[in-house]
Amino acid sequence: MPAWPTRRPDRSHRRARRHGRGRSSHRPSRPPLWHSRPATRPGSLVPSRRDGTLWRVSLTDRDDLHDEILLRLEAKGRRFTSNHRLVIDVLADAGRPLTIPEILPRTPQVPQSSVYRTLTVLEEAGAVSRLTMGSNHAHFELSEQLGHHHHHLVCRACGSIVDIDLDPEIEQAVEAELNRSALIHGLRIDEHSIDAFGYCAHCS
Ligand SMILES: [Zn+2]
Ligand SMILES: [Zn+2]
């Protein structure tokens, strides 16, 4: 009989053990300054960042998404207004980053100045991310803090940005390699971003 297991343990088990060990042995006495604490509630779908895991759980249910954003706005002393909800739904429905010229026709009932202000408030609350690469117009999308970790393909000519998901196995490998390098430099990673640049089919 072999003295070692004949079957590799499944990956989820290994991940769980690794994260469990990381929590017990690597937790600093104080979180690094770049850690921002998310709004949480009992049963929140957004996982804690403290164990170093990324945002894996998507807020796919629209009510959960609204609830999470409401909490984030309240934490900033803001109310969740109908304008906030409208802009969030436009970004969630688009499934790709949008520029303000793309957002405005989708929110005809909201004055243009309110759209700008709403995006700024949502960005400050960590609900919306502003992407500044690619073109003169900034793109806006739901923040990765709300659950959907992904990467971008950016056209250098027209500035279009497309969201892409990497294979989970590759994502794990990238994460492990980044963590390995970061540990050498004393950085505890709580997120990463990898974007690819080139020329789209229309521009090449
Ligand atoms: Zn292009
Ligand atoms: Zn994106």
Query: Per-residue pLDDT averaged across 86-93, rounded?
Result: 93
180, pLDDT greater than 50:
yes
Q: In this predicted structure, what is the pLDDT of residue 184?
A: 95
Ligand nearest to the CA of 135: 1
Residue listed under structure tokens 């521009």: 203
pLDDT top residue among 105 and 134 = 105
DSSP tag of 38: P
**Any domain includes 2:** no
- What would the two tokens of residue 135 be? 């073109």
CB 97, CB 60: distance < 8 Å: no
Question: Cα(126) to centroid of ligand 2, in Å?
Answer: 14
Query: pLDDT tens for residues 38-65?
Result: 333 333 334 433 333 333 345 568 888 9
pLDDT top residue among 88 and 137 = 88
Total of domains in the chain: 1
**Any domain includes 203:** no
**Any domain includes 88:** yes
Ligand nearest to the CA of 97: 2
Question: Cα(129) to centroid of ligand 2, in Å?
Answer: 8
Residues with beta carbon < 5 A to ion ligand 1?
Answer: 155, 157-158, 200, 203
For the chain, count helices (H), then strands (E). 6, 6
- What would the two tokens of residue 179 be? 């963590």
Question: Cα(150) to centroid of ligand 2, in Å?
Answer: 6
Ligand nearest to the CA of 204: 1
DSSP per-residue codes, 130-166: EE-SSSSSPEEEE-GGGS---EEEEETTT--EEEE--
128, pLDDT greater than 50:
yes
Query: Per-residue pLDDT averaged across 172-193, rounded?
Result: 93
Distance linking the first and last C-alpha atoms of the chain: 60
- What would the two tokens of residue 195 be? 């974007």
Q: In this predicted structure, what is the pLDDT of residue 7?
A: 44
Ligand nearest to the CA of 198: 1
pLDDT top residue among 170 and 146 = 170
Query: Per-residue pLDDT averaged across 57-80, rounded?
Result: 85
Ligand nearest to the CA of 197: 1
Q: In this predicted structure, what is the pLDDT of residue 58?
A: 52
Q: What is the CATH number of the domain that holds 76?
A: 1.10.10.10
State which residues form the domain around 120: 52-198
Q: In this predicted structure, what is the pLDDT of residue 20?
A: 38
Question: Cα(119) to centroid of ligand 1, in Å?
Answer: 25
Question: Cα(59) to centroid of ligand 2, in Å?
Answer: 15
Helix H or strand E encompassing 129: strand 128-131
Over the chain, what is the mean pLDDT?
Answer: 77
Question: Cα(143) to centroid of ligand 2, in Å?
Answer: 8
